[in-house]
Structure 1
């Protein structure tokens, strides 16, 4: 296994934190980050920033800590909960899942059920599912549900993180694996030539909102964003549709739907990877935005690049990454930041 703190990755991925309610994750990040930076602060959006160095050139390294989830929008007379999605869900994978409902007085286990197929009509079997059709069953009568649950309570998937062969699989590797890589980089970097702001951002899954606000506050000279990316290296996809492949190394982002990265930045990433003999691949993501775009433009024109963790089965409870790719991502972050002295010209 690659040389990193696996238990911390498990803690981060198994913790719960949907957009706007990342509190539990933020405290884990704060605890892990504080020993390795000079100062830590949070803001009214919930972004957490740990800064190290005293150079007059500022580099921000964002990784979003929110996961996709739900908010309770209605409690039916029968005690079933109706949900509003926080982030992009594929409704096909929601049936027959265990969930946790986070209430003011504690967490409750729940189920998203699926009725037996032989009890459905032909039309019902062929119907395209929708998130709005999902209901949570708490195994309680309606009176008990009304007593414990309120509109606005949050719902997350109930899934543990585990090794599967050479993979690590869990419910929120998007994007806790990048938060973890950021923390590992902060642990390894000492006395940088520039000021580095390691930023655990919020509300990425609902529109890059935390990063956009943070860009105004920090006004960085350079952005190196961290996120997961698609690895459709599974049956049913042609080679050109795979985006990245697990086990082939860190992803160097060229574009996604929110950003075209600064080509001087991604070329320097490539040069660093080659010089340090770090496995890497190039990412052209046709759909899906990241904090890279959220920070590239919000405080004026900012050179921005990104390193991505190739991930299978994104936005499902079984997201999977290759442990070697995680190690390559950490190595590339560290090598890039340690070699950044603020004199590189990223203007185009």
Structure 2
């Protein structure tokens, strides 16, 4: 079911927070035949509208990925940077990067440290300000190419399959996986849902959930789903609760919100009836667009549906396509026949 070529195309696209244009263009072309209207709001969110009857449903997945931004360039041409989004310093060592200069010319570089560059022993993890980007160019050459303070820097990595064709490894799984799931839902939704549906591909989630905040305010949904990934805990844990290949994740609690209990119970019921495996996510770290939607106006019942991935916020994220397929199936069933009584109860 999952279109792996489309997923990989989305993963490879340049689209850090604030620079989602390429991702948005890919998605817009893909979904145009399946919705009644497509708009891009002032924040940069891509909003696809399927006309229907109340209640109004909002489904969101964020387009942006983590990255870097040039803070300064020293006299030797070394590029100092600031992070965009939550990136662990450990994942930066030896990382390849890409910057867009004048006339959209792409310049490659690698992240290094003085110790690594000069072959010294690294006894402890370097601090953020000890890393720099080496492009092999001088300061003057970088300036001529248009690389300066404020230039955005994307992390790059080749996509590969591991073990079997069902396990994909690469960059930007957070949240291009969610985008690919939402695209598949859109392609099927018009035939099965009579509701007023707003499918929103949001911007700047990694910076502060901003796109979901502005779009939810305008849409005024009656209830909502955010599609996003979560950290798998199956690498070493004996009693893992979120294992890749073992099912869809539904958020009970994350760092900033409690998933709507009525929607979650409904999803669990669907999962049992349709034999779609579900893993409940209880976490003390990280949050999603669902928080911004939930806090919009007078409050919107919302939860998070997604898939577990290993090595989140790195360029070697790992996801299982069975989970992606099951997530699409669960959401289609969710929108096919929402039980009115449950939502009447949740909206009182």
Report how far residue 108 of structure 1 moved: 0.5
Structure 1 residue 143 and structure 2 residue 140: aligned?
yes
Partners of 1:147 and 1:23 lie apart in 2 by 24
Residues 6-28 of structure 1, C-alpha deviations (whole Å, 9 max, x = no match): 11001001101111111111111
Partners of 2:321 and 2:138 lie apart in 1 by 44
Structure 1 residue 264 and structure 2 residue 265: aligned?
no
Distance 1:75 1:117, change over 3 A: closer
Aligned to 1:129: 126
CA contact (8 A) 2:241 2:279 kept: no
Structure 1 moving runs of 4+ over 3 Å: 114-119
Partners of 2:33 and 2:243 lie apart in 1 by 34
When structure 1 is superposed on structure 2, of 139-148 and 110-119 the one drifting more is 110-119
CA contact (8 A) 2:228 2:306 kept: yes
Partners of 2:116 and 2:179 lie apart in 1 by 40
Aligned to 1:221: 222
Report how far residue 190 of structure 1 moved: 2.0
Give the 3-state SS of the residue equivalent to 2:53 in structure 1: coil
Aligned to 2:111: 112
Partners of 1:202 and 1:141 lie apart in 2 by 34
Partners of 1:268 and 1:281 lie apart in 2 by 14
Structure 1 residue 231 and structure 2 residue 240: aligned?
no
When structure 1 is superposed on structure 2, of 334-343 and 18-27 the one drifting more is 334-343
Aligned to 1:284: 282
Structure 1 residue 190 and structure 2 residue 190: aligned?
yes
Partners of 2:6 and 2:199 lie apart in 1 by 17
Give the 3-state SS of the residue equivalent to 1:259 in structure 2: coil
Partners of 2:5 and 2:119 lie apart in 1 by 44
Partners of 1:275 and 1:243 lie apart in 2 by 21
CA contact (8 A) 1:225 1:305 kept: yes
Residues 150-201 of structure 1, C-alpha deviations (whole Å, 9 max, x = no match): 2111111111222112311111000000000000010112242211111100
**TM-score normalised by length of structure 2:** 0.93
Aligned to 1:305: 303
Aligned to 2:326: 328
| RMSD of aligned alpha carbons | 1.7
When structure 1 is superposed on structure 2, of 63-72 and 279-288 the one drifting more is 279-288
Give the 3-state SS of the residue equivalent to 1:253 in structure 2: strand
**TM-score normalised by length of structure 1:** 0.93
Structure 1 residue 89 and structure 2 residue 90: aligned?
no
Give the 3-state SS of the residue equivalent to 1:126 in structure 2: coil
Report how far residue 128 of structure 1 moved: 3.3
- Within-5 A mapping of 1:75-86: 75-86=73-84
Structure 2: give runs of 5+ residues left out of the alignment: none
